[in-house]
Structure 1
């Protein structure tokens, strides 16, 4: 629940378990607030080498969102240019999108995407162009594991108390690790329970409460006309 506390814990873990002088550190994030490359640079102080990547999941989502009104072929071309780290192709595609934009909102979205790619371009460089063995680089694993939690805890406007959030995280983690039954027993034994037993007969809940009903009211329509008239026929129909 505290980003800085987590970073401190990670730093302590790295210091205790790794000789960073002989370690190539590879990090990845969405580069959002609190998770900028500079934050990971602090974790990598003293490392043999540090390579930071922009998370592909967020990159792909950003491209699809900003180019949602553009033809699919242009989206594919941009994905290809970014994947190959080909800035010339990326700029050509963005120029074409700007030319085809037919409203101010679309044009603004393309310009925002251009700024986003320029700002993060160095972190889009593929592993094979950074002298990293591609078979040792498995990016996105952390993000996919985050989704096990975020899909359950973040969506549909959910909100939690800290105690409830910690309990749900413990349940999800234990389920993933195949330790759910053990964790539930442990949690049951440690959580304070202050529920007072109340003895109530089941019939109490099955009773229908008495409700005062309005009785049937009787009435009639007086007839001041001949029985063969329209009013007389109406009286005969409803009586």
Structure 2
């Protein structure tokens, strides 16, 4: 902070740095890494800053769309979105269904087939143009069809 502060010449920026320094000094005892406070954190656990970049996925679904959530419903929706993003939703869903091993295999097979059959959207090739040839009278069925298409 001292080095950065010494490079500043703009009084507004200097004031912002001083305010930030004051804030950090007053709140230093409340700034900690959550992994040090929790017993047995996961080995690959990241700091809370990792969530900041991912909050858009959840906040877009939960806010500003005219929806209202109960605390239980909101937590359930966050867990579903989290499972989708972490690619663990399918496994968790299948494990929490109290089914026999055989039925579990059938469900896994069905969901696997469904994912294989899912086709991605293909780009449109536009309008195809063509012509129906008339080798007969205009009063025939094909003649009437041609008239109706014009």
Q: TM-score range by the shorter chain?
A: 0.3 to 0.5
User: Which structure is richer in relative contact order (CA contacts within 8 A, separation 6 or more)?
Assistant: 1
Q: TM-score, normalised by structure 1?
A: 0.24
